[in-house]
Amino acid sequence: MYDIDATHDPKLKSWVASANETGAEFPIQNLPFGRFRPAGSNGGWRIGVAIGDQVLDLRVAGLIDIDDMNALMASAPQERAALRRRISEGLREGSGDKAAWSEALLAQSKCEFTVPCKVGDYTDFYTGIHHATNIGKQFRPDQPLMPNYKWVPIGYHGRASSIVVSGQDFKRPSGQTKAPDAAEPSYGPCKRLDYELELAYYIGAGNALGEPVPMADAEAHLFGVGLFNDWSARDIQAWEYQPLGPFLSKNFASTVSPWMVTMEALAPFRCAFKRPEGDPQPLPYLDSKGNRERGQLDITVEVLLQTGKMREAGTAPHRLAMSRIAEAAYWTAAQLVAHHTVNGCNLQPGDLLGSGTLSGPTPDAAGSLIEQTQGGKQPILLPNGETRTFLEDGDTLILRGWCEREGAVRIGFGEARGTVRG
């Protein structure tokens, strides 16, 4: 487990003034990693750390001599901790690095960003028990959860090549669908486009083929966490998902936030992993003392929608849902790593593990439209009078996340934003 140290001190302030503002997403206690370049530049992607409304170019600051984020992620936890301490020391008030490092800062508003690392493989899990139950009730009222759900972390292999960074539009997907009363399927644009509120867990150091990662070591293989929207074509999914799971209904686009909040930064925001009374306890390979005591992440996430009409009128996005991960996730990130590798599967630096839709226990915490609208039967009324059952062309969907706790400085995750185009 990652420990709380001097870099988390709530009294720390930065000489970057915007990092000290109340509610700042990127105070000096955060220091998330991402890849950027000056807007309009055709140069290569650089490794940066967010501080306030600025980006610190780590190479220009003399902190690293590479531009390969995956190689940095593969370094040992103690090396990463040392780099975090050095960045924290150089950015804090009174630092002798201020003059030199000021030349390594660039305003985020003058940057463009890409996916924070090269994602080689992507696996999407199904850890949100409330989401799984809500969806199950629509299709299997007598048995919402399959018998294996509470025993094994369910997942499927997704498509890494279509993962895009926040701010990019994507085209409405087409595929086969079949109406319940139709004799044959038809082909055309998706009519039931949805979002899924998820977290992205990024792998740091990998494991050798054939060597499972035990629970005691699983945390050391996690680099950080970002926001993740696994766009879903529900009508295409309903026709194709039996017997092998989602395919074209999922692989057309997934949106991530540009920043990876490191496991070190999240140390103050851990909580106990508990199963509801009466539920089975994890099998031994998915259990450890550390995971029981501090395995869960206490992150709050929210979903906002801005329609094309709202954007034209200058109306702010409308919140659709807000959820806490500690209430939503049935499995921890460490358990996903242990299960993914128990058969000897080799994870590699930059691999992405999607959490699955993280719906909370109440309707206002539902992490997808298929839940909120009961499969399209109960439209959502928006403040401007528009209604939605599923996403329409021109709709912008925004995910945001943050951690806050007494005795610690609030940290944010940025946002994962995407717009549907016809």
Q: Which residues are catalytic?
A: 131
The encoded tokens of residue 360 equal 């909370």
In the 3-class helix/strand/coil scheme, how is the chain assigned residue by residue? CCCCCHHHCCCCCECCHHHHCCCCCCCCCCCCEEEEEECCCCCCCEEEEEECCEEEECCCCCCCCCCCHHHHHCCCHHHHHHHHHHHHHHHECCCCCHHHHHCCEEEHHHEEECCCCCCCCEEEECCEHHHHHHHHHHHCCCCCCCCCCCCCCCEEECCHHHEEECCEEEECCEEEECCCCCCCCEEEECCCEECCEEEEEEECCCCCCCCCCCHHHHHHHEEEEEEEECCEEHHHHHHHCCCCCCCCCCCCCEEECCCEEECCCCHHHEECCCCCCCCCCCCHHHCCHHHHHHCEECCEEEEEEECHHHHHCCCCCEEEEEEEHHHHECCCHHHHHHHHHCCCCCCCCCCEEECCCCCCCCHHHCCCHHHHCCCCCCCEECCCCCEECCCCCCCEEEEEEEECCCCCCCEEEEEEEEEEEC
The encoded tokens of residue 353 equal 């593990």
Cβ atoms of 400 and 302 closer than 8 Å = yes
Q: Provide the phi-psi class of 178: left if phi over 0, else alpha when psi is between -120 and 50, else beta.
A: beta
Cross-strand bridge partners of residue 157? 123
Rounded CA gap, 374 and 54, in Å?
Answer: 42
Rounded CA gap, 330 and 276, in Å?
Answer: 10
The encoded tokens of residue 271 equal 């909580």
Closest by CA position to 200, among listed 406, 421, 399, 411: 399
